């Protein structure tokens, strides 16, 4: 998939059905989720396992939420303005022309530091979706938005890509997109961290805090990202009611005092 093929023209998009009739009904499959979580623990960078877990523990009211937004005037306007987010988010040259201190600059800093791209997440999803039909409907755009704002959440919340940071982002996301997969991965990861690295770090409190922060924030996938990008980062956070984390920072402080790298909790890099 690339930006050219992924962008829907306005006329072709409006001619698509709201839902492709081939889309299967969503259902919970906890045993499948547990299997893929165990595989994810072996390699937390294996994003494909995450997609499997979300398929097994979906947001059961996702279609209802997507239909409500897609059929709204605001949703249709946003779809026309932002047909494919990765094409916008990966144009770092354009983003760097926005004001210093803006969300755009913070996003570029984060993605470049971590060696990430928005298209990279699309590519990971494509590997997972290769055995699924390519559903042709308007709902596909909404589904893509849910996926494509993930890294933006890291920037807005200040959660890093360490294990606790990822778990906290998923807890935040659960309050926005209540797929059980979000809290399943978040709390299972938290329990695994607590087991692997015994300490007084407030791991589960940090994850619950992520849930609270996500509940206070309007659903990010339904916001105009192009309107937010030029704004000062702190102004965006105020607009979205995103307040500083407390327990996540406290956990990092505990680990620092122990000499533990939160990005390498098991000491594998040193080994």
Give 134-156 as a DSSP string: ---STHHHHHHHHHHTHHHHHHH
Q: Is residue 85, in this structure, part of any structural domain at all?
A: yes
Integer Cα distance of 226 and 104 in angstroms = 9
Q: Is residue 3, in this structure, part of any structural domain at all?
A: no
Q: Is residue 96, in this structure, part of any structural domain at all?
A: yes
Handedness of CA 21, 26, 32, 34 (dihedral sign): positive
Q: Is residue 269, in this structure, part of any structural domain at all?
A: no
Q: What is the pLDDT of residue 9?
A: 53
Integer Cα distance of 199 and 201 in angstroms = 5
27 phi/psi in degrees, rounded to 5:
-150, 155
Q: Is residue 146, in this structure, part of any structural domain at all?
A: yes
Residue identified by tokens 């402080």 is 253
Residue identified by tokens 């960078």 is 45
Query: Residue 122 belongs to what domain range?
Result: 11-258
Q: Is residue 123, in this structure, part of any structural domain at all?
A: yes
Q: What is the pLDDT of residue 270?
A: 45
**Domain count for the chain:** 1
| Local structure of 261: helix, strand or coil | coil
Q: Is residue 210, in this structure, part of any structural domain at all?
A: yes
Per-residue pLDDT of the chain (271 residues; tens, 9 = 90+): 444 444 445 558 888 999 999 999 999 999 999 999 999 888 877 888 998 999 999 999 999 999 999 999 999 999 999 999 999 999 999 999 999 999 999 999 999 999 999 999 999 999 888 878 899 999 999 999 999 999 999 999 999 999 999 999 999 999 999 999 999 999 999 999 999 999 999 999 999 999 999 999 999 999 999 999 999 999 999 999 999 999 999 999 999 999 999 998 866 554 4
Q: Is residue 54, in this structure, part of any structural domain at all?
A: yes
Roughly how many angstroms between the first and final C-alpha of the chain, as a whole number? 38
């Amino acid at each position: 998939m690339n930006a050219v093929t992924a962008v829907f023209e306005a006329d072709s998009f409006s001619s698509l059905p709201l839902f492709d009739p081939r889309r299967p009904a969503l259902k919970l499959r906890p045993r499948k989720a547990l299997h893929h979580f165990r595989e994810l623990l072996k390699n937390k960078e294996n994003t494909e396992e995450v997609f499997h877990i979300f398929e097994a523990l979906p947001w059961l009211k996702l279609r209802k939420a997507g239909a409500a937004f897609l059929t709204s005037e605001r949703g249709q306007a946003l779809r026309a303005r932002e047909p494919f987010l990765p094409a916008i988010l990966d144009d770092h040259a354009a983003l760097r022309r926005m004001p210093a201190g803006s969300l755009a600059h913070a996003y570029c800093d984060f993605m470049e530091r971590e060696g990430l791209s928005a298209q990279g997440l699309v590519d990971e999803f494509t590997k997972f979706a290769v055995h699924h039909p390519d559903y042709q409907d308007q709902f596909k755009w909404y589904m893509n938005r849910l996926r494509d704002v993930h890294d933006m959440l890291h920037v807005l919340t200040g959660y890093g890509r360490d294990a606790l940071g990822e778990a906290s982002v998923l807890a935040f996301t659960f309050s926005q997109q209540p797929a059980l997969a979000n809290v399943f991965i978040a709390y299972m990861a938290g329990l695994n961290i607590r087991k692997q690295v015994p300490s007084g770090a407030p791991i589960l409190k940090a994850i619950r805090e992520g849930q609270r922060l996500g509940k206070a924030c309007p659903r990010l996938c339904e916001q105009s990202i192009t309107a937010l990008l030029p704004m000062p980062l702190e102004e965006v956070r105020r607009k979205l009611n995103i307040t500083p984390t407390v327990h996540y920072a406290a956990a990092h402080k505990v680990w620092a005092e122990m000499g533990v790298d939160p990005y390498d909790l098991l000491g594998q890099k040193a080994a």
